[in-house]
Structure 1
Amino acid sequence: MQDPSAPSTAVPPLRLNALAPDFTARTTMGERSLSDYRGRWLVLMSHPADFTPVCTSEFVALARQAEAFAALDCDLMALSVDSLYAHIAWLADIDRRYGVRIPFPVIEDPSMVIGTAYGMVDADSPDSATVRATFVIDPDGIVRAISWYPMTVGRSVEELLRLVTALQTTDREQASTPAGWTAGEPLLEPAAVTLDEALTAEAGGQGWYTRERKS
């Protein structure tokens, strides 16, 4: 049993707007570093294990939408604690069974160094499986969005595309997106911060804290 008075070995959780921890690792497309992706958006995903049904469905769905991510200048990268050879065998099996070539690198992380740095693996957990985590990292290497799913629930690829599109749009337009926003729909202006602004917005027929702007 761990001594409660001993210093904690847990890595603090990665937070939004933090610099994503850099790494260099072997992948199914050769050695890659996180810093290789500076200047582009990146979706970094962990999956619990190779040869599992939910992960397989996600990889097939992601591969089929790879061109949509590329159109957003966004790359994809996946990670699990399985070995490089297990990754290769699994991706080859996906190719045979579904006729789908996985076009993004899959990182091996048998020592759990990367998974632990990103909080994907609990340092005190007896199980090496990573959670189903997703990090959206911007061209400056900053973590802009984080989502966590249990091992039993697959991610929505359409939502990932919407999320990256929304982040890019809000950066460019300096505005926010309302619930369920998709590309081309109105954006939300920042709420008025002076009485004059508020009254001007109200006079223009819009609420002072719900003003819309065409995207």
Structure 2
Amino acid sequence: MTDTVPPELLALYPALGALPALLPTLAPVSVPAGTQLFREADACQGFPLVLRGEVKVSRSAANGRELELYRVAPGEMCLVSSASLFAGQPLSARGVATSDTTLCLLAPPQFQAALAEAGFRHYVLGLFAARMADLTGLIEAIAFQKLDSRLAAALLGHGTTLKTTHQALADELGTVREIVSRLLHRFERDGLVELSRESITIRDSAGLRAVASGG
């Protein structure tokens, strides 16, 4: 290892130990808080290895609103960058340093060469799977936050007992049955409803109204 390689690199990303030829190319770069490291639709410049600080990865909507997807701390992986490198496609989000940040960048050809080493490949795929699980949780949370109010509203105004199916409610709300079922079971755990075959009994209409209003 050359003097340009920080000692914490292997501690944070141990799989790099099997790639000694690449280590001298991984010189650290430090950027101040607020630095934009990559942008949506740009070509990915490499696989970032965060040593210190933090990177926020987010997407922007046409109306200017921003949705934070996740943050990359030291030793973690950027899903957007790795997916771009895997597929050879432009980046689907942007990354900004939230604090003074130090990182190394594994260039695309180096990343592809490193994937040929089984230990590094398994390590990256493991980090990829973990980050994907986090992102899936975010997607579900967003879907639930929008749907729980709509579902609660759909249950109200039909009396104490509503004769319907989970699939019928899903069709009414424009979603899938599995999400409706999860929300209904959550309502049941919270004491708002009681579920039975093709029937939903309202147990706490005031509580449902609070959910319907976003409370």
* Higher share of residues assigned helix: 2
**What's the TM-score once normalised by structure 2's chain length?**
0.32
Between structure 1 and structure 2, the one with the greater Rg is: 2
